[in-house]
Amino acid sequence: MNENIPDSTEVQSEFMRTQEISERQSEIQEAQTMINELLSQLERLQFADYKQVLAWLRDYQRAGDVYGVVKNPESVIAVFQAHGMTANMRMNEQFHQWEKDKVAEYIIGQALDGLAHDGAVHSSIHDFVEDWEI
C-alpha cells in the first residue's frame, strides 16, 4: 500500500473532524447573531416590565452560554445600572415569594452579579424565572 495515500479510516476521521468544526462554527455564529440582536434590543427594553427584563436575561444567558461568543457584559451592566438595577439587588433583604417585584429584582441582581464577576449569567436563571412566573 502506498504510504502517501490515506486509508479510508483516516479519510473518514478527517471528514468527521471537519464536520464537527463546521457545526461548531455554525453554533457560535447563530449564538453570536442572537447576542447581537439582544444587545440591539437592550436600549429599547422596558425595564419596568420585569417579565420582559427576565425574558431578555434568559435569552442572553442561553445564547451567551456558547463558548466563543462575545457577550459585552460591561455594556449590559451599564445599561441596567442606568435604569437603577445593580448587582446583588435585594440580596440581604427579607421578602416573601408573593412579592413578585422584589423577587424579580433579586433575580436580576443575581444575573448582574454573575455578569460582573464571571462575565456570564448563571444558567440557574431559567429555574428562578420559571418559579417566578408561577
**Alpha carbons 81 and 128: distance in angstroms, whole number:** 21
* Close Cβ partners of 129 (under 8 Å, ≥ 6 residues apart): 54, 55, 57, 58, 107
**Contacting residues for 38 by C-beta, under 8 A, at least 6 apart:** 56, 59, 60, 63
pLDDT band at 2 (very low <50, low <70, confident <90, very high): low
Question: What percent of the chain has a predicted confidence (pLDDT) above 90?
Answer: 69
Q: What percent of the chain has a predicted confidence (pLDDT) above 70? A: 91
Q: How confident is the model at residue 3 (pLDDT cuts 50, 70, 90)?
A: low
In this prediction, residues 16-34 reach a mean pLDDT of: 85
Output 123-128 pairs: Cβ under 8 A, ≥24 positions apart. Answer: 123/61, 123/65, 125/54, 125/57, 125/58, 125/61, 126/58, 126/61, 126/62
Which run of H or of E encompasses 48?
none
Share the mean pLDDT of the chain: 89
**Contact criterion met (CB below 8 Å) for 54 and 108:** yes
Statement: residue 111 has pLDDT above 70: yes
DSSP for 89-128? Answer: TTTT----TT-HHHHHHHHHHHHHHHHHHHSS--TTHHHH
